[in-house]
Amino acid sequence: MRPILSNPGTSPPPAGHYSHAAAGAGLVFIAGQLPVTPEGRRLGGESFDVQARQVLANVQAALEAAGTTVSQLLHVRVYLTDIEQWGTFNTIYAEWAGEHRPARAVVPVPALHFGLMIEVEAVALAGVTDRP
């Protein structure tokens, strides 16, 4: 069986040879999402808060395009260029994820592409709708 590849219309086309989301074997894998607007504007000059919210919006758009939701996340990996932003990110992330608490790793890195401050990748269950 071939994987299902997805690029949400609310995101710019991938900048490299990849898809924003790939689904197979009951899972959805979200490629590393950067703080880039749907129009393709990189938010490198914006505050960390703005960048973090855009990244999470991009993750959510990729999940939804692949037929799943934030509540079906199993694992999230976050790359930060400034680990001092961890607390800020955690607050924004908690608002975004709500009561759902998937496994998560926060990884400090020296630099990200385009001088951006955050990147997020994720794995979720495929084809499962939210439960009340």
Structural domain includes residue 87: yes
Structural domain includes residue 131: no
Domain containing 12 equals 4-125
Express each pLDDT in 40-90 by its tens digit. 999 999 999 999 999 999 999 999 988 999 999 999 999 999 999 999 999
Q: The domain that contains 82 carries what CATH number?
A: 3.30.1330.40
- Model-level pTM? 0.90
Give the number of domains in the chain: 1
What are the φ/ψ torsions at residue 40 (nearest 5 degrees)? 95, 10
Structural domain includes residue 69: yes
Q: In this model, does residue 132 exceed pLDDT 50?
A: no
Angle in degrees, 0-180, between the axes of helices 86-97 and 48-65, rounded to the nearest 10: 40
Structural domain includes residue 62: yes
Structural domain includes residue 130: no
Structural domain includes residue 44: yes
CA pseudo-torsion sign 26, 78, 62, 115: negative
**Residue 17 near residue 1, CB atoms below 8 Å:** no
